[in-house]
Amino acid sequence: MRRAFLALVVALVASVATAQITLMTGLRTELTDCAAGGSGSSTLTSGQKYLMRVTDSDAFLCFAATCASGGEKFPVGTLVLLRVNSEQTTVSCRSSASTGDIIFTSVQ
């Protein structure tokens, strides 16, 4: 039983290690210098996958046109593979230092 489990773990690690993500740099949107009181919004394509990066400082991501409060906090250096569904296409951000950036790059 233990050998079968270890073999499964090794197979899963190998499959993840060989997975490839192709960045579509022409399909990119940035929320730069997210203001402390919330920043302007951007629209992401429904059903699309994005590589989301947080740079410069911690930032809050809101799935709404404004982000004066609430949202999900992501620390600087966050790297997330995000799939956007049809109910969550408008995004905005905020950061306490007004310097956080959230960058979305489309992936295949």
Q: Which is nearest to 51 in space by CA: 9, 21, 76?
A: 21
Contacts of 22 (CB under 8 A, 6+ apart): 107, 108
Dihedrals phi, psi of 101, to nearest 5 degrees: -120, 140
Q: Where do the domains of the chain lie, and which CATH numbers do they carry?
A: 23-107 (2.60.120.10)
Return the bridge partners of 86, or none.
none
Contact 37, 62 (CB under 8 A): no
> Could you read off the pLDDT of 31-88 as tens digits, one per residue?
999 999 998 899 998 889 999 999 999 999 999 999 999 999 999 999 999 998 877 6
- Does the global pTM surpass 0.75? yes
